[in-house]
Chains A and B, each alone.
Chain A
């Protein structure tokens, strides 16, 4: 048994969902995503017992392309994140009705297939194909099932597509150039390429455009808030919870090992740009009047910090980045789900029209509060572990950068708690707020449980990812 099984299950799941018809589509998708989760847990066991579960098959002879899937601790962590979040995301959507749900859920499954493929690929070309494939489903999900009027939605989603597509093409050129130099797309061969600093610079830049748009870092972030706002809840969760981790993961997996000299020489530019995103996101979040947009900008700040951590090239930075990717993945999905629960009842995402929810539903309020506190990295939550390591790694490089980045916690606490106050507290709202039903509560409880459990006991994950990060770091430091 190897990792290809996971991809096959997801692809078959997408087809089966499409064939199962509108009535059964959501349940089929849930079943297959649970199966995928089961398989990835099983793979985790195999991996921990030291078995090689990689997959290698030649695909095209000239140029030589392999379908190469590799599983190390880093990939495993992100595959687990993806396959664990997928059932949650699908389950969370049971409360909404989607027209043509067979297409909707099939697209979700297909997107998850592509994202898992991205995390597993060890061949640059196949990696690129998966990377691009993930884009098409989310385009249609945002376009056809999103919120708001079609005009503005179309504008937002098309902008998103063109931005990310443009970025990826530059990455593709980098890959082709690398191939011509090395004669292979396999990561293990690519990192051994003997590239001059000038070549490395351009290759690094090609990758950087693709990732900076996807993460997004400023000044490439302009697509983000609109898309998060316009996409359906599921789309937003997939985007913020998993898809942007593709880019963060790719920095660690591809960009840094292939062009380490540039990463070292220009480290402060990249760290600076990322930290600028942190501050910018936090400040803009202060001014937001729309709940989903506020969460989008807070997400911008958090991923900026993660990117800054990766560019420090320290073990703490990389590890903190991966930990925070997982924590942020769960946290942001929880928050967007909470926003969706509110908008299901109030039919709005404007903060002004909310308030007075606490008096009506103390249970939901407590859950929401925990998620908010996790998002501002309160000790005891998973986010704290990640954010602490990230800030620590920044401090190793430069204490002032760390101090600047640290403002994210202060500003974060400020806007998140103020948001909580406006959304939840206050006098009783004249509109009634039904308490969370079982489905909604169940999803929330699982997310909260994950955040708290790993907040108190992050060791399993740290043990999982550290060896592979050390290996990557050794490759980065080879020169």
Chain B
């Protein structure tokens, strides 16, 4: 609970700092504050607490995922000042919106009541709409914000409708009551309709096929830092929340629901990967890659009682690799009007360290040892095989092979083509964030037990 209040307070503090002309201090204070909150949250790992009549429940699941979100936000906020170097007068807006977004994110994994969940998802979404359209003079950014807003509003509508139907069937918003009431045999039919509508909304948020159409356009149009946020933090948050929801309703969902999840998972993986092969724009490519990763993460829903640890591991591996990759993308595409692959030509010569880091993060996403993306896939496949989904695993394996195709396109561009422009200095923070993120990625690869053990 304190986590939630502290983060929101930090956001307000940022806005106040703006009034008192303390712009320079905003980012350092926020980062230090977030790290303190991280520490505070982590110490509360073992005591699970529910507050305000079960509105907020900080169990192990909520605590660990909140910690992950805070770490990701720290990275994203650290990148903010150099990304918005030309709009430093608005830095407090950019930072505080991200902090409010984080508030929504934490609420989305720590909810104990569907109304709290909906509040969380709206706080997160509205912050994202604003961030997507935050480059207000760019037509593309405006378009992205508008598209995302319209589509997102629809999804929210679905979610709200679903919640209403579930309320109608069970008479409560409280998760524990819903789980209990739903497990009885004589649950009303519209409970299932509600669950389906809720799932549709969540699948939209995680950008799983066939609800993925917004993702490439929005990713491409938004400012690169927002794209980074969407593809790492926002996706992970939505996935964790979805996992928690399914976990709570799993008892009474008919077995055919797992068929639906399998189909959606296969569709997401395949569409994401095959479409990514054709992209020349790096942001679009990573958007499709994100869609395929959503397909992988959705598999955890098939064994929802046992795979929380695997989901945590997969999302962390994916998000850290994503942060590392995006900090390189931010540097390369800075002041460019497009993000085509040829911008990366010769990066291996002009900036070997960044090229190396991008290579590592792409290898991690492709699932090559010793990076954690590989272990994530192994644990996931193991989980699925033990649940008896052999065909699904084989399709996932084939998809992993396809994904190598486009990840390597980028690697090849960096190392085998000649640079088209002269070397630009790399801001220190890009190096720092990219290195730290990839180091975390490799660290959880070398010591997988740390994360896996947390939730089992």
* Residue positions of A touching B, CB distance < 8 A: 60-63, 125, 128-129, 132-133, 135-136, 140, 143-144, 150, 153-154, 158, 161-162, 165-166, 169-170, 172-173, 176-177, 179-180
B386 touches A172 (CB 8 A): no
Q: Which of B368, B386, B397 contacts A173 (CB 8 A)?
A: B397
Q: How far is the CA of A61 from the CA of B450 in the complex (A)?
A: 10
Query: What B residues does A125 contact at CB under 8 A?
Result: 378
B382 touches A140 (CB 8 A): no
A143 touches B412 (CB 8 A): yes
Please give me the residue from chain A that is nearest to B349 by CB atom.
A100
Please give me the residue from chain B that is nearest to A131 by CB atom.
B369
20 further interface pairs, Cβ-Cβ under 8 Å (given A62-B449, A169-B401, A172-B397): A62-B456, A63-B382, A125-B378, A129-B370, A136-B368, A144-B415, A150-B417, A161-B404, A161-B408, A162-B404, A162-B405, A165-B368, A165-B401, A165-B404, A170-B397, A173-B381, A173-B385, A176-B381, A176-B382, A180-B386
Q: How far is the CA of A135 from the CA of B416 in the complex (A)?
A: 18
Q: How far is the CA of A180 from the CA of B404 in the complex (A)?
A: 27
Q: How far is the CB of B413 from chain A (nearest CB, A)?
A: 10
B386 touches A166 (CB 8 A): no
Q: How far is the CA of A62 from the CA of B453 in the complex (A)?
A: 8
B378 touches A177 (CB 8 A): no
Q: How far is the CA of A177 from the CA of B397 in the complex (A)?
A: 13
Q: How far is the CA of A172 from the CA of B384 in the complex (A)?
A: 14
B416 touches A133 (CB 8 A): no
Q: How far is the CB of B399 from chain A (nearest CB, A)?
A: 10
Query: What A residues does B415 contact at CB under 8 A?
Result: 140, 143-144
Q: Which of A62, A128, A161 contacts B369 (CB 8 A)?
A: A128
Interface: B448 (CB within 8 A) = yes
Please give me the residue from chain B that is nearest to A165 by CB atom.
B404
Q: How far is the CB of B296 from chain A (nearest CB, A)?
A: 14
Query: What B residues does A169 contact at CB under 8 A?
Result: 397, 400-401
Q: How far is the CB of A193 from chain B (nearest CB, A)?
A: 15
Query: What A residues does B397 contact at CB under 8 A?
Result: 169-170, 172-173
Given A128-B369, A143-B415, A170-B397, A158-B408 contact (CB < 8 Å): yes
Q: Which of A61, A129, A173, A179 contacts B453 (CB 8 A)?
A: A61
B363 touches A136 (CB 8 A): yes
- A-B contact list, 24 entries, CB within 8 Å: A61-B449, A61-B453, A63-B382, A129-B374, A132-B368, A132-B369, A133-B370, A136-B363, A136-B368, A140-B415, A143-B415, A144-B416, A150-B417, A158-B412, A162-B404, A165-B404, A172-B378, A172-B381, A173-B381, A176-B381, A176-B385, A176-B393, A180-B385, A180-B386
Q: How far is the CB of A413 from chain B (nearest CB, A)?
A: 40
Please give me the residue from chain A that is nearest to B400 by CB atom.
A169
Q: How far is the CB of B347 from chain A (nearest CB, A)?
A: 14
Q: How far is the CA of A384 from the CA of B166 in the complex (A)?
A: 78
Q: How far is the CA of A162 from the CA of B412 in the complex (A)?
A: 13
Query: What B residues does A128 contact at CB under 8 A?
Result: 369
**CB-based closest 8 A-B pairs:** A129-B369, A166-B401, A169-B397, A176-B382, A132-B369, A180-B386, A60-B449, A61-B449
Query: What A residues does B369 contact at CB under 8 A?
Result: 128-129, 132-133
Q: How far is the CB of A100 from chain B (nearest CB, A)?
A: 9
Query: What B residues does A140 contact at CB under 8 A?
Result: 415
Interface: B379 (CB within 8 A) = yes
Please give me the residue from chain B that is nearest to A63 by CB atom.
B382
Q: How far is the CA of A243 from the CA of B412 in the complex (A)?
A: 23
Query: What A residues does B404 contact at CB under 8 A?
Result: 161-162, 165
B365-401 CB mask vs A (1 if < 8 Å, else 0) is 0001110001000110110011000100110010011
Interface: B57 (CB within 8 A) = no
Query: What B residues does A63 contact at CB under 8 A?
Result: 379, 382
Q: How far is the CA of A30 from the CA of B2 in the complex (A)?
A: 59
Query: What A residues does B382 contact at CB under 8 A?
Result: 63, 176, 179-180
Query: What A residues does B449 contact at CB under 8 A?
Result: 60-62
Q: How far is the CA of A84 from the CA of B392 in the complex (A)?
A: 44
Q: How far is the CA of A61 from the CA of B449 in the complex (A)?
A: 6
Q: How far is the CA of A135 from the CA of B363 in the complex (A)?
A: 12
Q: How far is the CB of A15 from chain B (nearest CB, A)?
A: 14
Interface: B209 (CB within 8 A) = no
Please give me the residue from chain B that is nearest to A58 by CB atom.
B449
Q: How far is the CA of A166 from the CA of B390 in the complex (A)?
A: 17
Q: How far is the CA of A132 from the CA of B404 in the complex (A)?
A: 14
Query: What A residues does B394 contact at CB under 8 A?
Result: 173
Query: What A residues does B10 contact at CB under 8 A?
Result: none
Q: How far is the CB of A235 from chain B (nearest CB, A)?
A: 15
Interface: B109 (CB within 8 A) = no
